[in-house]
Amino acid sequence: MKILYFNAFNGISGDMILGSFLDCCISFHHLKGEMEKLGLEGIELEKRAVEKAGIRATKVSIRFKGSTPRRTLSDIEQIINESRLNEVIKEDSIEIFRRLAKAESFVHGISMDKVHFHELGAVDTIADIVGAVSCFNRIEPDAVMCSPINVGAGTIKTEHGVLPVPAPATVELLKGVPVYSSEIKAELCTPTGAAIITFYANEFNQLPELTVDKVGYGAGDRDFEGVPNVLRLMLGVSENDYLHDEIMEVQTNIDDMNPEVWSHIFDKFFEMGALDVNLMDAHMKKNRPGTVLSVLVRRENLQTIIDYILKATSSFGIRYHRTERVKLKREIRTIKTKLGKIEIKVGYLPGGEIKFAPEYNSCRKIAGEKNIPIIEVYQEANRVFQLLLNSDNEI
């Protein structure tokens, strides 16, 4: 498994991401070529070696000859869509800009299509995001991971006035991500950096077991005494071919609630982003039989789930903790059968072995439409998929 690991011990920004890629595994010639595909006249990409507190790093600067208009999200989308970039880079770049616009619109209380601000419209931000997306697209990693992010401290001056660090838009983008603040009084994590890394990173945790192949350092603009203002990027391979992520488990004990309501509550949990929900029989205090409710959820949906449990159940309190998952790389494939199209969940074991299972909802739909037992749909799906595997045809 090819892994990109970003060590954001002193923050992360768009230019630091670009610098780390160029220092690690991307050629300057390739990045310049991608920038030219944007079709924006006057952009100059500059790369130079710098030293930051004793660490050699690569500094990337975007120069622009001409005026810089205050663009809206639709302006940015038009520039990207009319460029010569490939479709994947276009789609991913636009999605990152939409994340930025959504964060800014929430902070300032305006609609996304009315967002006008420097962070979105500046040419260097366009180049940072499109350049970063081009680098990720070039490497095609199996997984992108990042350390907990040092966001800095203090305040910053903006066109909206003096704001706390991290900036409000940065906080919105970093929901669900582990962050911390060092003693450095500066903005170490920018909205652009937060938007890019949260789009790509599968996991925010300490360095995983990894055989490191290449290392690069991307430099920021600031100089801090004794602390290098750099982002470290490691490109390596993990022999452990599983996916890892960190989620939250929320639990509460209930012994005084009508069990008829659980069906409705389960549906609401999944609407709110729950990954899994289950009930376990337990013997409670006061010698009562009861139930332990357990909900698995991503960090960004944790508070929503907690609020709903306390509102919709008889619970007066909950407990939660972080937990790690190991899972197979997987995808959903759709196959054609004599009964119709059926979705199949396909998992990839280390060494290339495949396991699969028909998706329940897909099979249930066909069983209802054909008025046949669902087991017949499962059998047909398994038969066709196994034939496809044995024939080596594209599934």
Please give the structure tokens belonging to residue 299: 């960090």
* pLDDT score for 393: 54
Please give the structure tokens belonging to residue 1: 């498994």
Higher pLDDT: 197 or 161? It is 197
Burial 231-257 (b: 16+ CB within 10 A, else e): bbbbbbebeeeebbbebbbbebbbeeb
> Per-residue pLDDT tens for 306-338?
999 999 999 999 999 988 888 888 889 999 999
Closest Cα partner for 182 from 6, 7, 10, 8? 10
Higher pLDDT: 121 or 73? It is 73
Phi, psi (rounded to 5 degrees) for 28: -60, -35
Closest Cα partner for 319 from 336, 334, 302? 302
Strand arrangement of the beta sheet that strand 340-348 belongs to: 329-337, 340-348, 354-358
* pLDDT score for 120: 44
* pLDDT score for 117: 47
Whole-number percent of the chain with pLDDT over 90:
67
* pLDDT score for 329: 81
Instruction: Give whole-number Cα distances, 208 to 203, 259, 275, 382, in Å.
Output: 10, 43, 24, 36
**Which domains are seen in the chain, by residue range?**
2-240 (no CATH), 244-327 (3.30.70.1380), 329-391 (3.10.20)
Q: Please, are residues 209 and 227 in contact by the beta-carbon 8 Å criterion?
A: no
Which helix (H) or strand (E) segment is 330 a member of? strand 329-337
Q: Quote the pTM value.
A: 0.68
Distance (Å, rounded) from C-alpha 236 to C-alpha 184?
30
Largest Cα separation within the chain, whole Å, is: 77
* pLDDT score for 188: 95
